Amino acid sequence: MSEHELMLVQLGDVLSQVARPHRVDYELPAEVRSSLWQLGFPVDELTSREELVARLWARKRSLLTAAQPEWGGPGVTPPTAA
């Protein structure tokens, strides 16, 4: 697994933990905060889950976009079915 793919998996895992249903006064567990720090998302008790979800999706979206191969033009397009 490439570093790029590993980052996507880690972002997906943390995103699923941050976006789960929760009580309003429920803080993020320590292991989730630690994972966020390791991924480059510094958090504290004032960081809202909504903000984190938006930031995590933005990073994941940019990685997914970067992973898509560029279209090489008509010479690379497969023939259509007749």
- The total number of structural domains that make up the chain: 1
Tell me whether residue 76 is in a domain: no
Whole-prediction pTM value? 0.73
Tell me whether residue 77 is in a domain: no
Tell me whether residue 74 is in a domain: no
Tell me whether residue 19 is in a domain: yes
Tell me whether residue 53 is in a domain: yes
Please determine, for residue 50, whether its predicted confidence score (pLDDT) is greater than 80: yes
Q: Judging by beta carbons within 10 Å of its beta carbon (0-12, 13-18, 19+), is residue 18 exposed, middle or buried?
A: buried
pLDDT in tens, 1-29: 788 889 999 999 999 999 888 877 788 88
Tell me whether residue 11 is in a domain: yes
Query: Whole domain around residue 14: which residue ranges?
Result: 3-67
Tell me whether residue 40 is in a domain: yes
Average pLDDT over residues 47-71: 85
How far separated are the first and last CA of the chain, in Å rounded? 38
Average pLDDT over residues 41-58: 90
Please determine, for residue 71, whether its predicted confidence score (pLDDT) is greater than 60: no
Distance CA 2, CA 8 (A): 10
Tell me whether residue 39 is in a domain: yes
